[in-house]
Structure 1
Amino acid sequence: MLLRFWKSNRPESAMKYKSFDELEAAVMGKARKCKVAVVEAADEHVLEAVRHAAEVGLVEPLLFGKRQEIAAKLEAVGLKGDAYPIVETGSPQESATGAGLAVKNGQADFILKGLIQTGVLLKGLFKEETGFRTGRLISHMNIVQVATYPKLLALCDAAINIAPSLEQKRDIIQNAVDALARMGIDNPKVAVLASAETVNEKMPESVDAAALKEMNKKGQITGCLLEGPISYDLAVCAESAATKGYDSPVAGDADLLVCPNIVTANVLIKCLRHTANALTAGIVVGGRVPVVLNSRAASAEDKFRTMVLAASAAG
C-alpha cells in the first residue's frame, strides 16, 4: 500500500528501452545505415565485429590505415580485400585525423577505435582542422542492462575523467543527457550519487550534487530532471525510497547515474557486470559524434552491442 501510494502521480520514466534488444530494434528500424569510421582498421578482431555489423545492416564501414595491411586482414576474416572503402594513411595519428575530417564532411556518424592507442586516437581527432571538439569536456557514458532493474540504465564517468570538478561534472551530465536525447530518451531522470541524501561539507561529492541540482533548476543543465545528493539504493529502488519516505520523482526510477569520480563509477560498472551478470556498453561523448573504445579482449557480442549504442547515440 505504501509503495503504491508513493508511486502515484509521479512523472513517467523517460527511458523507453528495457533491453539492448529493444535498442537494437530501434536502431535497425532507421531509414539508413550508420556510417562508421574505423581508425587503424588492420585488426582481425575489429574487422570481425565490423563485418557482422555490416552484414546485419547496422553500419557502412569506412576504413582508415595502410591499404595493403587492411586488405590482408579483410581476407583473413573471410572478405575480399576491397570489401569496404579504405582511406590510405601514413600513420595512426593521420588515420585519427582523417576519421575526424570524415565526420566533418558527413562521411561518418561515429568512430570505432582499431589497432591504435587511445591517446593517439584522441590527439588526432582533436586537431583543430577536424572541428571534432564542441568546447565541452569529453566524457564517457555506459549503458547497463541488469535483470533486477526494469529498464536500461545510463552511468558516467567510468573511463575518462578521474576526479571531475563541479564544472566538469556539469559537462559530463550534459554530454550524457544530450546523447540520451539523440537516442530518443527525453528529459531523463538524473541521480547524482553520494552516500546519503544530506549535504555534508566534509563530503565534497554531496556539496557538488546539491550545486548541480541548483544548476538544473536554473537552466544551467538542461533537458533532464536532476536529483542530488542521492544514495544508490534510493536512486534505483522504489521500495527503499518509499520506506525512508524520500519523495523525489527521480527516486527508484533513475535513468542516469552520475558518480562522483572514476573509481566509484568503474567499481560500480564492474560490480554490475561481474556479480549481477549485467550487459554493458560504453561510448565516448561530448565530441561531434560518439567514439567506441572497445578493448581487444571484448567479446564479439560486446563489440556489437557497443556499436549499437554508438549508432543510437549518433542520432
Structure 2
Amino acid sequence: MKITENRTYDEISVGDSAEIVRISTEDDFYVFASASGNYNPMHLGRVDGDGDGATEAVAPAMWEASLISAVLGNLLPGPGTLYQSQSLIFHERAHAGDELLTRVRVVEKRPPNRIVLETRVERCSDGALVLDGEAEVKAPPKKLVFNDLEIPGLVIERHRHFDALIAQAEPLAPLPTAVVCPEEARSLGGALLGARHTIIAPILIGDPAKITAAAAEIGASLAGIEIVEATDHERAAHLAVDLVAGGRAAALMKGHLHTDVLLKAALRKENGLRAGRRFTHVFVMDVPGVPHPLLVTDAAINIAPDLRTKVDIVQNAIDLAISIGIEVPKVGVLSAVETVNPDIPSSLDAALLSKMAERGQIRGGMVDGPLAMDNAVDLTAARTKGITSQVAGRAEVLVVPNLDAGNMLAKQLAYISHAEGAGVVMGATVPIILNSRSDDDKARLASCAVATLHNARLHGLMPARRAAE
C-alpha cells in the first residue's frame, strides 16, 4: 500500500528539499499533446518536425515544467498544495529516453502560509541543467495522509508495431500485387497507399470506369498504374490468379468483391494457388498497450476446423509470425479452460496441438494449450492458475476454437481495445491480402507490409527482425 503524506507550513524549514527521477518517453509527449492541444511535430516521435531529415522527439518544455508540479503536489509540501506563481528559464533540451532529475528546495517562508522554492530539472546522464526557476506555493494548513490514491491508467492509441512493420517493408522492392476489383474508394485507396509507400506495385483488375470513378472520389491519380479490364468479379478473380501463375504478380489483394469469389479462383485445380496446406486467415493485430504484435487465427475462412485443419492454422500463423520478425513465436491455443476436459472438444484439440509441436509435427514455434484467454496473455493470471509454461501469459499467436470465436475476438480487440488489424490469407503459394470493408488506411497499409515481409523472407530477401523493436 502506497501512502501519500503532506508537510504543513509549520513542518517545513528553509533548506528542506525533495526530488523525483523519471525517464521521459514518446508516450509522455503524446499524452501532453492530447491534454494540452499542442501538436507541435517537434515533440512527436518518428516525425521530422523541423525538416532537417531527422526525427526529434524533443520533450515539450511545459511537460518538463510539469515535473516540478509532481514534486510539489506529491512530496514537498505535498497534498493540499496550491500554486501561486512559477518562473522558468529553459537551458537545455531533453528528448525521449532521457532520465530527468527534478528537485525543489525551500528558500523562504512567507507567513502565514506561503513557501518559496528553488526548482530545477537536470539531465541525469551528464548533469546538464534543463530548466530552473522559482515557485511560490500556498502550503497546506492541515496534515493529510492518503492511502493508495487511485489514478485511472491510460493506454496510448498508437500503433507502433504497424509503424515498425511498414518501416521494415518500405526499403524492399515493391511487391507486384494483383488487386482484384478496387472499384470503390477504400479498396482503391488502400492499394494506392501501398504504392505510395513503395510497399506494393499494384496491378488493378476490374471495371475501368468504376476504378476511375473511385480514383476521382478520393482525388487520386492512376498515372503509371496498369489496369486490366474485367467487368465481372469472377472473371477479375481468375485473371488475378492468372497473373500470379504467369509470374507477373507475387500477391493478391482483395478489393470490392466477396471473399469467397476470390478464394474460389485461388483454389482452382488448374494453375491455382494451392501449396499443400489449407488456406487459413491470420489477423496481425496492433493492440495499444501490448508490447508485441498479436496474431489471431482463424477468424475469416475456416468455420469449424477439425484437428487436421488446426495443424495448418497453427503452422501458417507461425510462419507469418516469423516473417514479421518474431523469431520463435509463442502460440497459445485457446479454450474456455486451461485444463483438458473431455466434454470441451477445443481443450482436447489444444492439448493435441501442443503435443504435436513437442514431437516436431508443428515447427518453428512454441505451442501450448489449452489456455483460457486470460492466462494466455496475462502472466499474473497464468501464475495465479499455477501454469508453468514458456507460452502462458506471453502468447504472441492466439489460435481460436472456431470462426465465431476468432471473429468476436478480433472485433473486440478492434472496437473495444482500439486495435488495428492487418489481414492475410496463408497456405497459398503467395500471400493474399484480405482487408475488411471497414478497415482504415493504417490497417490496409499494414496488410500490404505484412504480405511484402512474408514474401521477402520466403525468397531470402531480408533477415527477419523483431517487429516490436
Distance 2:385 2:261 in 1: 49
Quick check: 1:193 aligned with 2:340? Answer: no
The match for 1:29 is 171
Match for residue 255 of structure 1 among 369, 373, 396? 396
The match for 2:161 is 19
The match for 2:40 is none
Instruction: Give the 3-state SS of the residue equivalent to 1:191 in structure 2.
Output: strand
Instruction: Give the 3-state SS of the residue equivalent to 1:42 in structure 2.
Output: coil
In the TM superposition, 1:60-75 aligns within 5 A as: 60-75=201-216
In the TM superposition, 1:228-239 aligns within 5 A as: 228-239=369-380
| TM-score normalised by L of structure 2 | 0.60
Bigger mean CA deviation after superposition, 61-70 or 107-116: 61-70
Instruction: Give the 3-state SS of the residue equivalent to 2:341 in structure 1.
Output: coil
Instruction: Give the 3-state SS of the residue equivalent to 1:37 in structure 2.
Output: strand
- Report the CA distance between 1:203 and its aligned residue: 0.8
Structure 1 stretches of 4+ moved >6 Å? none
Question: Is the 2:166–2:445 contact (alpha carbons within 8 Å) kept by the matching residues of 1?
Answer: no
The match for 1:144 is 285
Distance 2:221 2:168 in 1: 30
Instruction: Give the 3-state SS of the residue equivalent to 1:303 in structure 2.
Output: helix
Distance 2:221 2:422 in 1: 30
- Per-residue displacement from partner, 1:211-268 (whole Å, max 9, x unpaired)? 1111112221111111011122221111222333321111121110111111211111
Question: Is the 1:183–1:312 contact (alpha carbons within 8 Å) kept by the matching residues of 2?
Answer: yes
Question: Is the 2:333–2:369 contact (alpha carbons within 8 Å) kept by the matching residues of 1?
Answer: yes
Cα 1:272/1:45, change in 2 over 3 Å:
closer
Distance 1:258 1:126 in 2: 23
Distance 2:323 2:354 in 1: 23
Question: Is the 2:283–2:296 contact (alpha carbons within 8 Å) kept by the matching residues of 1?
Answer: yes
- Report the CA distance between 1:43 and its aligned residue: 2.6
- Calculate percent identity across the aligned residue pairs: 37
Cα 1:18/1:258, change in 2 over 3 Å:
farther
The match for 2:431 is 290
Q: Which structure exhibits the higher relative contact order, with contacts defined as CA atoms closer than 8 Å and separated by 6 or more residues?
A: 1
Match for residue 106 of structure 1 among 224, 235, 247? 247
The answer for unaligned runs of 5 or more in structure 2 is: 1-158, 457-469
The match for 2:301 is 160
Cα 1:231/1:72, change in 2 over 3 Å:
closer
Bigger mean CA deviation after superposition, 296-305 or 186-195: 296-305
Cα 1:197/1:281, change in 2 over 3 Å:
same
Question: Is the 2:340–2:347 contact (alpha carbons within 8 Å) kept by the matching residues of 1?
Answer: yes
Cα 1:44/1:244, change in 2 over 3 Å:
closer
Quick check: 1:204 aligned with 2:345? Answer: yes
Distance 2:212 2:418 in 1: 37
The one-letter code of the counterpart of 1:156 is T
Distance 1:45 1:243 in 2: 45
Quick check: 1:225 aligned with 2:366? Answer: yes
| TM-score normalised by L of structure 1 | 0.87
Question: Is the 1:89–1:95 contact (alpha carbons within 8 Å) kept by the matching residues of 2?
Answer: yes
Distance 2:341 2:303 in 1: 22
- Report the CA distance between 1:291 and its aligned residue: 1.7
The match for 2:191 is 50
